Structure 1
Amino acid sequence: MQKKYIVRLNDQERRTLDAIVKKFSGSSQKVRRAQILLAADADDLAWTDAAIAEAYRCRTKTVENIRQRFVEFGFEQTLQGKKRAEPARPKCLSGQEEAKIIATRLGKPPAGYANWSLRLLAEKVVELGICDSVSHETVRQTLKKIA
């Protein structure tokens, strides 16, 4: 089958990829992308996608995606990967709020309770006015940081 995306590396790109592969510099993903690009180069090795996938223990779809990314977005973005524009989600609590939650947890539980539950602690945090609202899962993640 005719390949839709053909990888053709220039000498500078080939030297950069060789250096990454020889030194194993960067993340493992970066090294694997470099190996795949070198093997897929139409002017040099020109391996088939199946041979590349078998040699570097990945799927043929991964090889196809790397070829496509190289043609559409260029050498740097293919090698480095796509950068996130912003963090996935901002933090719910500030450091001071987290410290107050931890301090509350270390104190005695309310009368009638032997231990703090996550839901009970979340209710108490809202009751004390530490924050407007907080879920038991956020409390769990906060307490997990110190464990």
Structure 2
Amino acid sequence: MGRQQKYPVRLTDEEREELSKITRMGKQSARVMQRAQILLWSDAGKQDKEIVALLGCAPMTVSSTRERWVKEKRLEDLPRLGSKPMLDAKQESLLIALACSDAPEGRAEWTMQLLADKLVELKVVEQISDETVRRTLKKTSSSRGKKRSGASHR
């Protein structure tokens, strides 16, 4: 037999049934399904090396899955930290409406910088970069003043 595991998995009948359901149903992410299978095999007495060979995953995946389960009873990842969006939904809709409106006099169409400057001028935001404007319009599949896209009239 192998060496003693630092975080041995001991599942209740309910936990075993729930994890089995996760592996059978296929409605979870591949990561969650893999973690459920790791826990089931760990509970069945399989050693880490066997599980690694069966799943083709890294040894660290097996040990960290067992540790997370023993400490927190959790299969899912925690939400990732990140910066908040530069524009909220209302500000995005104002940007899209502006981009779909007629360009300023003397211009054929809006530039990203003109849109950014106009949002600041209208006090929609305190500051915004042309790159944020570009990404927002790309995300919403809007265009700068082309009549066939975005929220323009048809």
Q: TM-score range by the shorter chain?
A: 0.7 to 0.9
Q: Distance in 2 between matches of 1:20 and 1:99?
A: 40
Which residue is equivalent to 1:50? 49
Shift of 1:113: 4.6
Unaligned 5+ runs, structure 1:
none
Q: Alignment length, in residue pairs?
A: 139
Tell me which amino acid in the other structure corresponds to 1:63. V
Q: Distance in 1 between matches of 2:16 and 2:90?
A: 50
Which residue is equivalent to 1:63? 62
Shift of 1:5: 1.6
1:92 maps to 2:91: no
Q: Distance in 1 between matches of 2:29 and 2:56?
A: 16
SS where residue 3 of structure 1 aligns? coil
SS where residue 131 of structure 1 aligns? coil
Higher mean C-alpha displacement, 108-117 vs 137-146: 108-117
Q: Distance in 2 between matches of 1:105 and 1:24?
A: 42
Which residue is equivalent to 1:133? 127
Percent identical residues? 37
Which residue is equivalent to 1:23? 25
TM-score, L = length of structure 1: 0.75
TM-score, L = length of structure 2: 0.73
CA RMSD of aligned residues (A): 2.6
More helix by share: 1
Q: Distance in 2 between matches of 1:106 and 1:22?
A: 48
Higher mean C-alpha displacement, 29-38 vs 12-21: 12-21
